[in-house]
Structure 1
Amino acid sequence: MSFLKLTDVGFTYPNGFEATQHVSVAFELGETVAIVGQNGAGKTTTVKLMNGLLRPTKGELFIDGKPTNTMTTAQMSKYVGYVFQNPDDQIFQETIEKEIAFGPKRQKLAPEVVEKRVREAAALCGLSDELKEHPYNLPYSKRKFITIAAVIAMDPEVIILDEPTAGQDRESRQLLGRLMKELSARNKAVITITHDMEFVAKEFQRVLVFAKKQLRKDGTPREIFWDESLLELSALKQPYICQLAKAVGIQDVLTMEELGKKVLANEKYSD
Structure 2
Amino acid sequence: MSLEVKDVSFAYPNGYVANENLHFTIEKGERVAIVGQNGAGKTTAVKLLNGLHKPTKGDVLVDGINTKDKTVAQISQYVGYVFQNPDDQIFNNTVKAELEYSFKHSKLTDEEINRRVERAAELTGIQQYMDMKPFDIPYSIRKFVTIAVFVALDTPYLILDEPTAGQDINGINRLAELMDILQGEGRSVITITHDMEFVADNFSRVIAMANKRIIADDSARNIFWNNDIVAESNISKPQIGELAEDIGSDNKILFRHELLEYLTRL
Query: TM-score range with shorter-chain normalisation?
Result: over 0.9
Residues 1:76 and 2:38 aligned together: no
Q: What is the correspondence of 1:189-200 to structure 2 with a 5 Å cutoff?
A: 189-200=188-199
Give the 5 Å matches for 1:35-74: 35-74=34-73
Shift of 1:3: 1.0
- Does the 8 Å CA contact 2:54/2:67 hold for their aligned counterparts? no
User: Could you tell me the percent identity over the aligned residues?
Assistant: 47
Deviation by residue 1:73-104 (Cα, 9 ceiling, x = unmatched): 22211111110000000111111111011112
How large is the Cα RMSD of the aligned pairs? 1.0
Q: Give SS of 1:5's match.
A: strand
Residues 106-165 of structure 1: CA distance to partner in whole angstroms, max 9, x if unpaired?
334321111111101101100112211111121100000000001211111100000000
Task: Kindly state the Cα deviation for residue 42 of structure 1 after the two structures are TM-superposed.
Answer: 0.5
Counterpart CA distance in 2 for 1:92 and 1:66 is: 29
In the alignment, what sits opposite 1:218? 217
Query: For structure 1, which segment, 96-105 or 69-78, has the greater mean C-alpha deviation from structure 2 after superposition?
Result: 69-78
TM-score, with length taken from structure 1: 0.95
- Aligned equivalent of 1:258: 258
Q: Does 1:230 find its partner at 2:229?
A: yes
d(CA) in 1 for partners of 2:78, 2:36: 25
CA distance in structure 2 between the partners assigned to 1:113 and 1:105 by the alignment = 13
Number of matched residues? 265
Q: Deviations over 1:169-203 (max 9, x none)?
A: 01100000001111000110000111000000001
Name the SS of the counterpart of 2:29 in structure 1: coil
Aligned to 1:34: 33
Check whether the contact 1:105–1:114 (CA below 8 A) recurs between aligned residues: no
Query: Is the 2:18–2:212 Cα contact (8 Å) retained in structure 1?
Result: yes
**TM-score calculated relative to the size of structure 2:** 0.97
Aligned ranges for residues 1-271 of structure 1 at < 5 Å?
3-251=2-250, 252-265=252-265, 267=266
Unaligned regions of 5+ residues in structure 2, if any? Answer: none
Aligned-pair distance for 1:67? 2.4
- Could you tell me how far 1:246 is from its partner in structure 2? 0.9
**Unmatched tracts of structure 1, length 5 or more:** none
Structure 2: how far apart are the matches of 1:106 and 1:262? 57
